[in-house]
């Protein structure tokens, strides 16, 4: 079983997508869009997934971190993007 380290978690994240990296803030972890994400994702999807509100890596085992990251990516992929590049249709007004 792997240890929960930033290196291991970002390697796990990279195995799922190359669009984001995981970083540690003060009291939370956040996703940052990579250069590949800027190139791969349409403009309306260039906002990273929601933050993970856990203070320290050791507060969750590696498996739970992986489940949480997968859950955040699934939620991100399920959200309906808003296309700001096209004008609204009459039904959207």
pLDDT tens for residues 46-93?
A: 678 889 999 999 999 999 999 999 999 988 888 765 555 555 555 554
pLDDT tens column, 16-57: 988 899 999 999 999 988 888 778 777 767 678 889 999 999
Q: What is the pTM of this model?
A: 0.76
Residue whose pair of structure tokens reads 């096209």 in the numeric block? 86
Give the closest residue to 57 by CA, choosing from 5, 1, 22. 5
Quote the Cα angle for 35-36-40, to 5°.
125
């Amino acid at each position: 079983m792997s240890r929960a380290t930033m290196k291991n978690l970002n390697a796990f994240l990279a195995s799922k997508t190359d669009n984001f990296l995981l970083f540690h803030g003060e009291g939370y972890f956040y996703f940052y869009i990579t250069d590949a994400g800027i190139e791969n994702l349409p403009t309306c999807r260039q906002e990273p997934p929601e933050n993970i509100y856990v203070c320290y890596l050791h507060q969750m085992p590696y498996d739970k971190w992986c489940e949480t990251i997968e859950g955040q990516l699934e939620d991100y992929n399920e959200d309906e993007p808003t296309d700001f590049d096209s004008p609204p249709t009459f039904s959207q007004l």
